[in-house]
Structure 1
């Protein structure tokens, strides 16, 4: 993994702002997933090369690395997005993090517990009670109603019928499907079916939520609605989330931080603003080239020192995206003051700076 990842993480606003006191919910270090004929052979191969074999050595050994030396931390209550192009390794890494796939080597720690040292029984218990997952394809059971699909994981856990149905009805209401609990999946639209999948994953009240391109099969309008629903749920539930997508617009709308993958490697981790303003590699720069900067840049990035006696047209927070207040600021014809959490004026955003960003985005 490149040294730029560590440097970027230390410079990230996550460590500078309100999120610096978040504990680490999930952590992986030096994680590899190699596909080949023999898992033991792959581990021995990595040991021979000190955990850093070249692509040529891997090819010569007939081994296919889907995840290469990946390290990341997911913080408590954070939406951590992993993204990359097709074949970058993003779906493989989420399956390793959720232990749907066994990593070849590396460390994987959840709430301070080494998952790779757990017994099979312990892993089953963790995955049933503390982890939830939503897939790209809804994977609903067609012979069960909405209620039956949502109660299914609780039934596997051995929860009594009254309790599991009460819990299921709570999450069915939460995702906006109240009144549809007796419908079968075939009677629901694609967006409604995805809501059932989300409700099912939330029924066991997971502490860590994995979502693998959950909205990519939906049409653009429904996809936007589901993103809104996802953000609403997160404001209510404050889950620790690992979210996979290949869509950068979706990533910047949802993410606290983003990891970009290329050929199995994590090439940079940072806030959306980090990746656009401070790309660590030419690949990241090219990946983010066409992003509308007004959707990514915050008031903090363009503010100047406040001037006493200025007649301000409004106020914004340091982390507010330019796109969220640009229209009001330009219409007012006056600068906006930037105010931090303590109510202190720390800067001002001028009309000319905003117009310049909007012109660049256009």
Structure 2
């Protein structure tokens, strides 16, 4: 198109007139809604967030999201505790450890159920669970890893007194086993695959108890109250990304690998069950069923009370906001 030599002057005068009218009649431009600050860590159940951002699903659904990635699960928990982020991915153990000090957090949906993607890795000298007696086991103390090991020990006739717990993040387990600092530890994919290459072994995994370790998405109360439409849009985009992943698996593997700096072999949903909308509606329905998120959360609350992690018993119903998957 041919550009008129006086076009810039016309544009300037038009803009000036608009501003003058706004000032004269008391009309101010509407402030832009700031993006949702959302933090997440490395876990296969959270991969839909990469797809949603790459394919523009957040924008399509009407929400601006500022994504903050950290490979460290505990770093995200620490930053949430200091007031950072409006939404985040975590575990039930993580949310309970936070509500002991912050009562402004609510679970809005589940991302997945772990059915083998979390595991107890061991060194080459351990071949059965009774070999763990007297051994050092790395877990994030007070969180899902410790509860997972305790449940496994009890299932096979042992107790937490039979092992020595060492505080360790999932991403540290392989180095700790390699250096002899621990004999076993709880970690997840892709660190399980890395450990197998180092000669470590999977002793037991969440195949034993898949309901115990759901991945969850939580937001602050103030965001739920003031920006429910943005959270609803976020949830819609998440499920849109899940569906797109199922329909275009190879394209999505490449997207996730490129964005997270992983190899294609590390991108897999093996060992997890992605929680789609229907699964979420079932999980977030108030029920005494063992598969209800309310019942699973109560297991974590009881564990945290016994361990002295929290001093008061929170109301389970106050920790879950189901409206975004039920509507």
User: TM-score with structure 2 length normalisation?
Assistant: 0.27
User: TM-score with structure 1 length normalisation?
Assistant: 0.25
Structure number with higher helix proportion = 2
